[in-house]
Copies of this chain bind each other. A is one copy, B any other.
């Protein structure tokens, strides 16, 4: 296993054998370590001193189920913090099979380039012909040129414009750009380096070495069965995808509606997972779909338009919420088109949905105006001044138009669970080193889904501890390449985490214990937080916007944590 380092200023490519502590790190643990060790916390995120790191997880490329997550790390231009954003798709597996533990992209190319990676190494190629192309077109032309089975990592126009909502797209098994390292504007970092695409061809790759294949296989098989047997991982997600959460959160009064004004949406039924399932079936799409080979949860789907033609895939709860109830929009086809725009232009759907709601707040369009919303994507596509404002996210648009009701933490939009009605996830939003991010410590599981026990979502009690434990566990899971959704099973089934540890030990000939997993999670959080401190962040940044002190219907709950209570999260 080795690390590739590509300097786009000097055009130098180096291959470094992995040694020391880095050997036992993968995914988020590796990207955050490299960023913390090598990037000046005070540098401009879009300047030449920032680095962009891609790292498959420790288990990626193996037969471990649902292990194909790719971590992408950098200093975020959206939040100014360290950032790890991870996604499924084909890339992590390809990296791993080529023996690549990480790809570190440094410097800035004066002209648009792409990286071609195969078993022989990395070449830097001119990409000027691809300037301005959307991700869908790139996913057509790049495989045509470089081989039909390549994984492609791309940025759309938003990344080229260096918009701080820009994502990095990764193709799925249908060779569509539907998986995104969405959060934190990492597409803008890639754009600032003038890197349009990374094409990965693992033909002839030696594959991932496993120290004890039999032992690994047994553990992987056992873990896979546990996932399939779990009601969320094995039934809920494969049937309805993540959109199953619309009705659940609406029922719980925690579905943020009309820019976090109320927790229930009159149009919830029309954007629900159950309703989408019906439409997909009628239009002969796919109700279940894996974002990468080897995933047993298959939470994705293929959503066709009314003519039965492919429209989008990877159409997730957060996206549906963001362009749906958050914007008071109940037109699911319009929401799917917004998702398609984001996938194509290369934009984070959560950030863009919240940005649209703030545009409604500003009076640029009205709440509920689906056509108006889709029109605004044309502005982004064309890089007009209004498009630039929109593409830089909710906080930015709020400042441009003097709007103060802007739901962000550390500049990043708060996702699809109201922090007042689901207090555990509110604690995560406030305190994670990532800026508001539900995936950093998904307390929704225990607050709402009653996975891993139950803690009353409306009450403060126990939420800091819950979020702390989940943040630690998540930082570890994000390092394995396993999809975060395996956590539902891990939280409920005491045999699941030992099976993960067993896979790691069998693959790497290690003697890890459960305690080591916790220590890894703590190490990751500590590393990230230290970076942020050096970048000037303090506990004062671990706070929600003041409007969350308003009462939130239907439960009449308020955000009532003191700063001191939140600061306890990192006191372990």
Contact with B along A492-520 (1 / 0, CB 8 A): 00000000000000000000000000000
Partner of A543, one of B42, B399, B546: B42
Distance between A268 CB and nearest chain B CB, rounded to angstroms: 30
Determine how close the nearest CB of chain B comes to the CB of A408; give it in whole angstroms.
11
Q: Give the chain B neighbours of A546 by CB distance below 8 A.
A: 40, 42-44, 47, 49
Cβ of A386 within 8 Å of any chain B Cβ, yes or no, is yes
- What 1/0 flags go to A27-42 for Cβ under 8 Å of B? 0000000000000111
A161, A535, A546, most chain B CB atoms within 10 A: A546
Q: Are A399 and B164 in contact (CB under 8 A)?
A: yes
Say how far A57's CB is from chain B's closest CB, in angstroms.
31
Residue of B nearest to A77 (CB): B399
Contact A536 B541 (CB under 8 A): yes
User: Which residues of the other chain, B, contact A49 by a CB distance below 8 angstroms?
Assistant: 546
Distance in Å: Cβ of A14 to nearest Cβ of chain B: 24
Bound-state CA distance A469–B270 (Å) is 66
| Chain B residues, CB < 8 A from A402 | 46, 161-163, 188, 191-192
Interface string of A76-91 (1 = CB under 8 A from B): 0100000000000000
CB pair A46 B404 closer than 8 Å:
yes
> Which chain B positions have C-beta within 8 A of A162?
401-402
Determine if A540 and B192 form an interchain contact, defined as CB atoms under 8 angstroms apart. Answer: no
Contact of A404 among B47, B163, B191, B541 (CB under 8 A): B47
Contact A540 B42 (CB under 8 A): yes
Contact string against B for A residues 385-428, beta-carbon threshold 8 Å, 1 for contact and 0 otherwise: 11011001000100111101000000000000000000000000
Q: Find out whether the CB atom of B540 lies under 8 angstroms from the CB atom of A536.
A: yes
- Closest B residue by C-beta to A391: B400
A467 to B541, CA, bound (A): 30
Most buried by B among A392, A402, A404, A543: A402
The reply to whether the CB of A231 lies closer than 8 angstroms to some CB of chain B is: no
Q: What chain B residues lie within 8 Å of A545 (beta carbons)?
A: 44
In the complex, what's the smallest C-beta–C-beta distance from A435 to chain B, in angstroms? 14
Shortest CB-to-CB span from A507 to chain B, Å, is 40
Tell me which of A161, A388, A396 has the highest count of chain B C-beta atoms within 10 A of its own C-beta: A388
Interface check A384, CB cutoff 8 A: yes
Task: Determine if A526 is an interface residue (Cβ-Cβ < 8 Å).
Answer: no
Report the Cα distance A386→B46, complex, angstroms.
22
CB of A538 closer than 8 Å to a CB of B:
yes
Residues of chain B within 8 A of A384, CB atoms compared: 385
Question: Interface on A for B, CB 8 Å cutoff?
Answer: 40-44, 46-47, 49, 77, 161-164, 188, 191-192, 384-386, 388-389, 392, 396, 399-402, 404, 534-538, 540-541, 543, 545-546
Closest 6 A/B residue pairs (Cβ): A162-B402, A536-B540, A385-B386, A385-B385, A388-B400, A44-B404
Query: What are 17 A-B contacts with C-beta separation under 8 Å?
Result: A40-B546, A42-B540, A42-B546, A47-B404, A77-B399, A162-B401, A162-B402, A188-B402, A385-B386, A385-B389, A388-B389, A388-B401, A389-B389, A389-B400, A392-B400, A534-B540, A535-B540
